Each structure stands twice: as structure tokens, then as C-alpha cells.
Amino acid sequence: MLSSSVGPDTPPGPEPGLEVRPFRALTYRDRDPGHLARVSSPAYDLVTPAGRARLADADPHNIVRLILPQVDGQPQTAGASAALAATTLRSWLAAGVLVRDPVQALWLYELQPADGAPATVGWLGAVALPPAGSAAVLPHEDTYPAAVEGRRALLAATGTDLEPIVLAHDPEPEVAEVSGRVRRSTPTMELRDGDGVLHRLWRVDDAATLEAATRALSRTRAVIADGHHRFAAARANAGTRGGAGSDAVLALVTPMGPGGLRVDPIHRVVPGLPFGAAVAAAAQGFVTAEVPVDGADPASVVAAARSWLADPAERGLLLSDGARLVRLTAAAPEVRAAVPTEAPPAWRDLDVVLAHHGLLQVLWARPDTVDAVVIAHRLEEALTTAVERAGVAVLLRAPSPTDVAAVARAGARMPRKSTLFVPKPRTGLVLRPLAD
């Protein structure tokens, strides 16, 4: 749960909170659960090249062809990819694959994990982009300019929010009450994804419910849980092009606390770095020690890494080449000196900050670029990538939700791709054309 200095007992005061607007959605005409499972996708930044190929092969109208357009035989520039996505979108509209809602609505979205964990419930709406300096929507991660430009070009070319960002808002009892009433009705669409998560959505267009939901959400503020690059792209698009609808971004607005999200870690892989050299350099700034692995197979390495990372008594980072594990603890003063001293305490002690500023930049002298530091959203993916790229995986614990909120409130930023809020909404179920 995300803690916040703003809650039901401490309202935002004179500064406005979230402005959530209904919109005329674009959805697939065929809402059969099996069809929706075939044409939808994880968020673009969670799709690997192999995963993109599988999704594109699953159905000729899979949404991955819009969010990750692939220009065959040409350089994959942002402009060329965006132009292809716009052409594809127009053809799907002309063929009736996607249809536009006749009236404005909000969508209630429920995600029920397969493991029986409590469901996450939120509202899909067009969230107004707050003015500079506003605390209504607070980011907590850095962004990568090339990724922002790619998403901006796609948004400008298609004139459509193709997938939602995710916001975690302050607790507000009336939001939960309105959501509960809607959930007692029959959902508009539902599907189960490949991870077993059940997605259920309700289209809400009656005036009384819309007024109650938007009024309650206006009393809250939010932290960006997922979609920093898309949020920055929406801001950039509004600043460069403007036009109807460009002053808002499609967002799934979920609560901080019960009914909200949890945080998983995001790991790093440094390609082409010999494991022995990596450990020797790391030992100049950390205390290093081998972590026992019960077996030589990959599954044993995964199990040992997961056990160490889950142990609340342990501290520090974990390095692996896919076969061995070494822990890094007790960062030396020279490592901590690499962390900006003007940063707030909630930021300076994060594992991901020590990894980026101390280990990667100082001890390994690696820049934080997409080629030098590869992002891995799963432990297995990180270890496999380390083997395939002859490199080293840096395995991290997730920052606590309290840490995330504290960093955002302090106006600081974590390194890019520091948090993985889960479960994730499915891309392709609800799109938002900017022009109404």
C-alpha cells in the first residue's frame, strides 16, 4: 500500500486534485473472452521481441501491431513506426475491427490475480494533465528521452491513447463505495490472461454514477505507478501539437491501500561484463560473499536468488552470471558518496539508487543507457539474459510502497524502471481517441 500525507483525514486543501473525465472509448467489436485474450497484450515495455512475435502471430489484429509497430526492411525509427501504426489503426477502423462508443463513459476495471490475492479495482478515465508544479499527479522515476519521443510520436500519429498509464490515488471512501455498487452488476467484458489474472470491465455512463465517481476522485491526488514515459509523452504532445483531447491522458486510477497495487522489483543486466571482473570491482565498495546454490541447474540458481531476496533479514544487492550468486552488502563511504547528498533520505538508501550511482556508475563505470544496462522485469529473465549476453545480472528488492510515495512527495526521482506495480491492466481492451 502506498502511504500518503494526503488522505481522507487530510484533504488536499485549495489545490485541485485529480480531474477524471469520461470519454468515448474505442474497443474491439468482438468482445468474446477468447478473442479479447488473443488481441490484447501486456504493456509495451513488458513485451520482449520473442513475445511480440507470439502476440502478432496470435491474431492479425493483436494490439501489439499498434503499440510496437514493426517496419519490415526499414530502420525502426520513431517516425516510421508511428506512421505504420497510424495506417494500421485507420485500416482497422475502416474494417470495423474497432468501434467507437456513441456516448462518453468511465470504465471500472477489476484485476483478480490467479493466486487468490485481493483484487485490484480502479477507474479508467481521461485524467487531465495537471499544470507544472501541481501535486495532483506526482512522478517518482526518471525517464529516458528516446523512449518518451517514441511514445510521443506514436500518440501524435495515431491521435489515440493506445494504453493507459496507472495512477495510485489517496484513500477515499466514496470511491470504494461507488466501485462496489458497480461491481455488483454484470461486466461489459472480461478475459483471463496468460498469467491467470481475470480482467473484468464495466462500462459506466449513467450520470449519477459518473458524477459520484469523478467528485470522489477530485478529492484525491496520485503517484504515477506505471507509465512515466507515456505521461511525459502526453505532456510533450500537448505542448507541441495541442488540439482537442491532448490535455488529458488515459489512466487507470487505483487506490493506495486495499484494492490497490503491490510493488515487484525490476532487475538489471550489464552485458559483456565478465563475472569475475564484476565481483572484483564490486569488492572495492561493498562487502562480497558467495550465496550457496543447492545444485548447478538454472532452477536451483533461481530458487536460491528468490529465497535470499525474500529474506527480510538480508540486506544489499545480489549479482549473478546465471550460475553463481554473490551478495553485496555494507556499501563503503566512497559508494555512498556517489549518491547526491542533497537528495532526500527516502531516496539515498534505496537499493536501486546504490546500484545505479555506486555500483554501475562508480565501480563498473557503466553509463545508464539502454545498451549498457538492460532492464529485466522477472528474476528468470534477468538470469537468462545474463547468460545470453555474457554479462552480470544485478538482482534487486522492490522498494516499499511507502518509499515510493516518500520519494514522489519529496520531489525526487528514482532511476528509470525502478518499480513494477502489479497486477497490470491489459493493453487493447479500452483505447481513447483524443478527438471527441
Confidence of residue 73 (pLDDT cuts 50, 70, 90): low
Q: Indicate if the pLDDT at residue 207 is higher than 50.
A: yes
Average pLDDT over residues 282-287: 93
Residue 97's alpha-carbon distances to 23, 35, 60, 428, in angstroms, are 19, 12, 11, 12
**Residue 385, domain extent:** 267-397
| pLDDT-wise least confident of 177-186, 281-290, 355-364, 406-415 | 406-415
Spatial separation of the C-alpha atoms in residues 383 and 430, rounded to whole Å = 34
Q: What separation in angstroms does the CA of 56 have from each of 30, 183, 210?
A: 18, 32, 36
3-state secondary structure (DSSP) of residue 268 = strand
In the predicted model, what is the mean pLDDT of residues 391-395?
Answer: 96
- For the residues 267-282, what does the mean pLDDT come to? 95
Do 278 and 251 belong together in one domain?
no
- Residue 1 confidence (pLDDT) above 50: no
The residue among 392, 395, 241 whose CA lies nearest residue 307 is 395
Q: Is 1 a member of any domain?
A: no
On whether both 113 and 236 belong to a single domain, the answer is: yes
168 and 85 assigned to the same domain: yes
Evaluate whether residue 5 is within a structural domain: no
The C-alpha atoms of residue 238 and residue 226 are separated, in whole angstroms, by 20
Residue 34, in any domain of the structure: yes
Please indicate, yes or no, whether residues 242 and 333 belong to a single structural domain of this protein.
no
Locate 364 and state its grid cell. Answer: 563498473
Clarify whether residues 255 and 293 are in a common domain: no
CA torsion angle 410 235 68 202 (round to 10): 80
Asked whether residue 410 is assigned to any structural domain, the reply reads: no
The reply to whether 224 and 272 lie within a common domain is no
Q: Measured on CA atoms in the order 271, 272, 276, 277, is the torsion positive or negative?
A: negative
Decide if 184 is inside a domain: yes
Residues 93 and 168 in one domain: yes
Can you give the length of the chain in residues?
436
Q: How confident is the model at residue 13 (pLDDT cuts 50, 70, 90)?
A: very low
From residue 222, how far is each of 140, 152, 212, 362 by CA, in Å? 11, 22, 18, 34
Task: Please indicate whether residue 301 or residue 409 has the higher confidence score (pLDDT).
Answer: 301
Q: Does residue 338 form part of some domain?
A: yes
Contact 1, 70 (CB under 8 A): no
> Over 90: is that where the pLDDT of 10 sits?
no
CB 77 within 8 A of CB 157: no
Tell me, yes or no, whether 415 lies in a domain: no
Q: What is the pTM of this model?
A: 0.76
Tell how far CA 97 is from the center of its chain: 27
Q: Does 360 score more than 70 pLDDT?
A: yes
User: In this structure, are 233 and 364 located in the same domain?
Assistant: no
Q: Are residues 251 and 292 in the same domain?
A: no
> 29 and 175 share a domain?
yes
When the pLDDT of each residue in the chain is averaged and rounded to a whole number, the result is: 88
- Whether 286 and 225 map to the same domain: the answer is no
User: Per the structure, how many domains does the chain have?
Assistant: 2
Give the pLDDT score at 219: 94
Does the structure show a pLDDT above 80 at 242? no
- Name the β-bridge partners of 112: 198
Q: Does residue 160 sit in the same domain as residue 246? A: yes
Q: Which of the listed ranges 154-168, 256-270, 345-359, 418-432 does the model predict with the highest average pLDDT?
A: 154-168
Q: Is residue 407 part of a domain?
A: no
pLDDT at 56 over 90: yes
In this prediction, residue 35 carries a pLDDT of: 97
